[in-house]
């Protein structure tokens, strides 16, 4: 049996924290957390989210905003679920890092540098990139011997 070390727990904590953030935000913009104006609800529905997305992406032509908002929401949900399960962890973490870096840069251009710093978006990006570099996938599907066996049988070289 493998001896657990601090790196195992750090990678698990990063996976769960990043995953929870993405799943929470997607649930919020889809109205699953309550109506707009309710406690602990940022948007509460797609319309309020789209208004914010338009502000964040103010440097882009207006017709790009809905498409990019849908893509971002799909990716956030996908990365959140993959990281929660620990499936394709490195790829999901790298995608998360790139997505959150793009978001941080858009926020900085639209609202000033204090906005992405104050909302820790650069921190999310850095944490995602750090997770992508972690050697172990503790309590994950990536780390399960059954998953590795299925990948080997299918001819896939790995989950990284």
**Rounded mean pLDDT of 24-28?**
98
Four-residue CA torsion sign, 54, 56, 59, 65: negative
CA distance 9 to 18: 14
Task: Tell the burial category of 104 from Cβ atoms under 10 Å away from its Cβ (0-12, 13-18, 19+).
Answer: buried
Q: Tell me the H-state helices in 57-120.
A: 65-85, 89-111, 114-118
Interval 65-82: pLDDT, tens? 999 999 999 999 999 999
* SS3 state of residue 43: coil
The pTM score is 0.87
Query: How confident is the model over 30-36, as a mean pLDDT?
Result: 96
Decide: 126 and 134 in contact? Cβ < 8 Å.
Answer: no
Residue 134 and residue 14 in contact, taking contact as beta carbons nearer than 8 Å: yes
What is the torsional sign of CA 15, 17, 20, 25?
A: negative
Instruction: From 9, 14, 12, select the one nearest 97 (Cα to Cα).
Output: 14
| pLDDT tens column, 123-145 | 999 999 999 998 877 778 887 66
Residue 150 pLDDT > 70, yes or no? Answer: no
Q: Please tell me the distance from the alpha carbon of residue 143 to that of residue 41, in angstroms, as a whole number.
A: 35
């Amino acid at each position: 049996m493998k001896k657990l070390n601090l790196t195992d727990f750090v990678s698990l904590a990063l996976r769960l924290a990043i995953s929870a953030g993405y799943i929470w935000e997607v649930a919020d913009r889809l109205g699953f957390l309550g109506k707009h104006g309710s406690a602990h609800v940022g948007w509460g529905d797609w319309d309020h989210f789209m208004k914010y997305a338009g502000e964040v992406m103010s440097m882009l032509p207006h017709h790009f905003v809905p498409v990019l908002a849908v893509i971002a929401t799909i990716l956030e949900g996908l990365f959140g679920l993959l990281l929660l399960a620990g499936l394709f962890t490195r790829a999901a973490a790298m995608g998360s890092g790139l997505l959150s870096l793009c978001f941080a840069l858009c926020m900085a251009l639209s609202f000033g540098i204090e906005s992405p710093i104050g909302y820790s978006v650069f921190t999310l990006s850095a944490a995602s990139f750090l997770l992508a570099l972690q050697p172990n996938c503790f309590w994950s599907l990536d780390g399960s011997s059954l998953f590795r066996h299925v990948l080997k049988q299918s001819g896939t070289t790995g989950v990284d």
